[in-house]
Structure 1
Amino acid sequence: MLRRSLIAVASGLCLWLALPTIDLWPLAFVGVAGMAWATVGVSARAGLGLGLLTGLGCFVPALSWSGVYVGAVPWMALAVTESLYVAALGLACAVVQPIRVRPWLIACLWVAQELIRGTVPFGGFPWARIAFSQADSPLVHLASVAGAPGVTFAVALVGGWLAVAAERARVRDFGRLPALRPLVASAGVLLLAALWPVATGGRAVTVAGIQGNVPQSGLDFNAQRRAVLDNHVRTTNRLAADVRAGRTPAPDLVVWPENSSDIDPLRNADAATEITEAVSAIGVPVMVGAVLQEPSPRVSNATLLYVPGRGIVDRYVKQHPVPFAEYIPYRSFFRTFSTKVDLVTKDFAPGKEPSVFAAPTPSGTVKVGPVICFEVAYDDLTREPVRRGAQLLAVQTNNATFGRTAESEQQLAISRLRAIEHGRSIVHISTVGVSALITPDGTTHDQSSLFTQKALVGELPLRTATTWADRVGRIPELLATLVGAVALVQAVRVRRAAKVTDRAGVPTPATDHDTRQHHEKDVHDRL
């Protein structure tokens, strides 16, 4: 069991190393393979423990950014909570694998685990999904077919096949051609994904993203909110001057990040004037991330669409505020564990529905779907604006509270996958970086560095065609989850029947061993 435990921890570390900024994406296959192999032929309880070790090996380092300014307790609480889902996955793997690795079931169970982890409790937290480690992998092309769950399924399937190949290599079972099938199948999936076409063309518009930067990183950046607003105004005015001088192409649309105006421009005349003057200077629609002091006593994380000469013409309110960051559920209860919950002085209210802005640009109306910060990690929150006609997505985020950690690049990788998944260009803009303009094939352009001031300007293609992923929606994810659930229930029933038979027969020790082997084979055959 010690060896299996070490393999489980190493598997989790491989899953972490596959994520940005280390970005060794092939190690995701190794991580899945290690956990799949470690849970073969063990009890459900042992599978639970091995899954927990795998989860901790991944999430403790992967989510270290969550504690950079608030300490170890929130960080470890989040890492352990996320690891519990992988623990349940380990239990399920042990139950359905009494004899050997079952790659197809492993893939289904991984999809099911990520579905549950991204749903409950409090709406879930789907960060560090396997799919999000594959932005540079050929498998990311499959996002246009079955979304992020499809990419996770493919990675887990290849990982399962590698575990089968490793087991056959261990017993030196490569003398026959069928023994090579797992490796051939893995190569085939990778080749197919690499050749799968992704969206590229479309009518081009020039877009600018304004990364104004903050006076200092950390939780105290909000105390200097006027300076943050001034930085974004100043950067926009500088861009307008460069356009007038002919040094920079004139943009059709400008996007500011989340929290670029934490002073409510609906209630503060100075902030409203400063933003309006910047919009007039650049002369095109500007999307501004703002905190609104409504509905009282709560606040709203919003995107406001400003049009020159007309002011605010549309707004979007973040639908999924982050629990324990933007609002505190059961505040009095969780205060007993950490007083850090009171750093969130006002809870953010959720928005009611997606929005698609019709921005009247010099080159025609552009339909833009705003997505705020961690919403980009949720499948439905990026899919719905596209279904409602968005030609372009704007992911507005604020990474100032995470310092110089991997969080910003992890988030950028998610946006790259979303671009391929929906066949849409994305303006991924942060107050402090990392920001980039992303074309529908997932390629980044004019990428910025952390904690710098920059105006990102470039042409992005607009598209209206929908991908397979948008058409089928959650169907592949739900089907994989259903298959995994049915297999798990069937395996539990067969195991229980085997135990009843053993008790009734009262076999001798030698017969008992034979009986267990027979029942294990029966489980395998019936799955």
Structure 2
Amino acid sequence: MQPAPATSARVRSAEAGTTAASLTRQPGRRTLLARPPAAALAGFAAAGASAPWEQRWLLPLAVAALVLLLRRVSVRYAVVLGLLFGLAYTLALTSWMRAVGTDAWLLLSPVVAAYYAVAAVAIALVGRLRGWPWWTACVWVAVEAAMSSWPLGGFPWTRLAWATVDTPFALWLPWIGATGVSFLVALAGATLAWVLHEGKARPAGAAAAIVAALLVGAVPALFRPESLTSSWETGRPTVTVAAVQGDVPGAGNDLVAVHEQVTANHVQATLDLARRVEAGAAPQPDFVLWPENSTAVDPFRDEETNAGISRAVAAIDVPLLVGAIVDGPRPDAVLNQGLVWLPDGSTDERYTKRHPVPFGEYVPFRSQLAGLQIGRLDMIPRDMIAGARSRPLNVAGTRVVDLICFDVAYDDSLIAQVQNGGQMVTVQTSNATFTGTSQQQQQFTISRARAMETGRTVIVASTNGISGVIAPDGTVRQQLEPRTTDIAVTEVALVDSQTPAVRHGSLIKLVLCLMGVAAAITAAVRSSRRQFPLRGHHLKSWRTPRERVDT
């Protein structure tokens, strides 16, 4: 009576083979050939959610398209699809990089695209797990976190959260931060892919997904942190801030060539403001904000620059937060700083740019590259040293979170300064190099997202645009016309309370990233077991003596 178990074993073996085949079933050749251009198109669509197009609705659709394209494909093919998506996304989103150099644009894009290739592999793998839309979103934010920190400080410009301003997703920024919002967008896209792929077979699940999508928009609209409510200003102390946009003469994109006139413009604008204040035509500010590179030479060594700043501070008789290039501790080093210049001439409070741009403000591996005679490297004779300050500046008794240009896209300095008591945020930026490009709009949008995330007013001062005042709910209170000399004077309510995103954002990021990494590893292990199953004679060693006798 032995044949029955053997027959049963053969049946189980056949069923297992059928299941494995269904899990590894490959799409047809024609479908596979259509996927690469579709992946590139999805990348372009993702970029279309940001400036200059700002078609926000494209973002979750682009994610959904990529996820669908990665269903049931091999790891090698996932690399190709992810790379094409990333190239199209980055090339379109950062086309403004051509203002620095076409070579820089073409070199940056493949590096960033490589991260999306990694993401695509992980998404293809976790797509074989139960609840794969959730794991897909975890993988996405894990890759974003890695891309935002490495190499050379990372490149956080392509985070999904930045393109959600003016959408229901952005209402979650004060609750779960930029990482959490990127997760929600990726989850929405992956869930949409699930509905399109399996919704007909599971109508109840599709209906639940629709209800969940409605809650994503409804819940944060009904429950908002105190600093984002309509009464957020009531009873709070306030300061009046004047943000100066001095303009850059000529074409506007070569600040270094006309840096003396740029400084003179900011001095003159501040003197004009002082005269208006004296005449009662403008309110007395508590401090004045100048942009990054409002002086492109060390104001402590250049007498003319020093005299101009001193004259402006004496006239307005309040502290002036100057964006200055200061000589570093070595002859070949330089610092990009925000200096709190007091009427008595002291400058004890300083913030140093935390994220200088590689190959733009410093040259990594300079000694190794020196022998290659690369002409572009000669344009950066001194390396900019990164700062590490995590405390807000004390400006006339106000705790000011200062950020310089690209710092606004990174989490570390902003969140640390707010956690340490920052009451408002200033963004000192030049952006003159990117005059006439979408970079200025994209950065201003990131500043709006940061206002919502921190629940604080953000004041942006740029040399020639975009300058403005952003309320804690992300609305733009004032925006100066680019390529003009103008001043935005505004009253700012000082906020001490911290949003949940500020308090718990780092924990949210850690948990989501760990979940994404764990899911990818689990899926990879399971996939390798299916691809290289243990043979029968290997299994024997794991059977108990009783199992061997029965068999």
Q: One fold, TM greater than 0.5? A: yes
Measured in 2, the distance between the counterparts of 1:69 and 1:496 equals 44
In the TM superposition, 1:313-328 aligns within 5 A as 313-328=348-363
Contact kept, 8 Å, 1:12 with 1:55, in 2: the verdict is: yes
1:475 has 2:511 as partner: no
1:377 has 2:409 as partner: yes
Match of 2:159 in 1: 129
Letter in 2 for 1:44: V
Measured in 1, the distance between the counterparts of 2:146 and 2:100 equals 28
Between 1:90-99 and 1:420-429, the stretch displaced more is: 90-99
Aligned match for 1:290, one of 312, 317, 324: 324
Measured in 1, the distance between the counterparts of 2:219 and 2:46 equals 23
Contact kept, 8 Å, 2:451 with 2:457, in 1: the verdict is: yes
1:304-340 deviations in whole A, cap 9, x for unaligned? 1012234424212112211111101013555749522
Match of 1:519 in 2: none
Contact kept, 8 Å, 2:245 with 2:462, in 1: the verdict is: yes
Gaps of 5+ in 2: 1-31, 538-551
Match of 1:94 in 2: 124
In the TM superposition, 1:19-418 aligns within 5 A as 19-70=50-101, 72-98=102-128, 102-168=132-198, 172-173=200-201, 176-198=203-225, 199-200=227-228, 201=232, 202-217=236-251, 220-297=254-331, 298-331=333-366, 333=368, 336=372, 338-360=374-396, 365-418=397-450
Contact kept, 8 Å, 1:142 with 1:196, in 2: the verdict is: no
Identity, % of aligned pairs? 36
1:409-460 deviations in whole A, cap 9, x for unaligned? 1111111111111111111111111111111111112112322211011122
Letter in 2 for 1:280: A
Letter in 1 for 2:383: D
Aligned match for 1:7, one of 22, 27, 38: 38
Provide the TM-score with structure 2 as the length reference: 0.86
Contact kept, 8 Å, 2:83 with 2:117, in 1: the verdict is: yes
Contact kept, 8 Å, 1:316 with 1:354, in 2: the verdict is: no
Between 1:215-224 and 1:272-281, the stretch displaced more is: 215-224
Please state how far the C-alpha of 1:39 moved relative to its aligned partner.
Answer: 0.6
Between 1:495-504 and 1:436-445, the stretch displaced more is: 495-504
Between 1:20-29 and 1:92-101, the stretch displaced more is: 92-101
Letter in 1 for 2:379: L
Gaps of 5+ in 1: 506-527
1:195-251 deviations in whole A, cap 9, x for unaligned? 341424233322111010111346632021111100111111122222222222222
Measured in 2, the distance between the counterparts of 1:134 and 1:215 equals 34
Measured in 1, the distance between the counterparts of 2:506 and 2:423 equals 21
Please state how far the C-alpha of 1:180 moved relative to its aligned partner.
Answer: 2.4
Contact kept, 8 Å, 2:390 with 2:416, in 1: the verdict is: yes
Contact kept, 8 Å, 1:213 with 1:453, in 2: the verdict is: yes
Letter in 1 for 2:338: T
Match of 1:524 in 2: none
1:245-267 deviations in whole A, cap 9, x for unaligned? 22222222211000001121111
Contact kept, 8 Å, 2:133 with 2:187, in 1: the verdict is: yes
SS in 1 for 2:473: coil
Letter in 1 for 2:466: V
Between 1:176-185 and 1:153-162, the stretch displaced more is: 176-185
Between 1:3-12 and 1:458-467, the stretch displaced more is: 3-12
SS in 2 for 1:428: strand
Contact kept, 8 Å, 2:253 with 2:435, in 1: the verdict is: no
Letter in 2 for 1:20: A
Root mean square deviation, CA, Å: 2.0
Aligned pair in 2 of structure 1 residues 64, 388: CA closer, same or farther (>3 Å)? Answer: same
Measured in 2, the distance between the counterparts of 1:265 and 1:354 equals 24
Measured in 2, the distance between the counterparts of 1:334 and 1:419 equals 40
Letter in 1 for 2:79: L
1:435-493 deviations in whole A, cap 9, x for unaligned? 11111111112112322211011122110111111212411111111111111111111
Please state how far the C-alpha of 1:101 moved relative to its aligned partner.
Answer: 8.0
SS in 2 for 1:395: strand
SS in 1 for 2:347: strand
1:95-125 deviations in whole A, cap 9, x for unaligned? 1113898210111011101100011111111
Please state how far the C-alpha of 1:132 moved relative to its aligned partner.
Answer: 0.6
Aligned pair in 2 of structure 1 residues 337, 418: CA closer, same or farther (>3 Å)? Answer: farther
Aligned length: 497
Please state how far the C-alpha of 1:5 moved relative to its aligned partner.
Answer: 1.8
SS in 1 for 2:426: strand
Q: Which has the larger radius of gyration?
A: 2
Between 1:226-235 and 1:181-190, the stretch displaced more is: 181-190
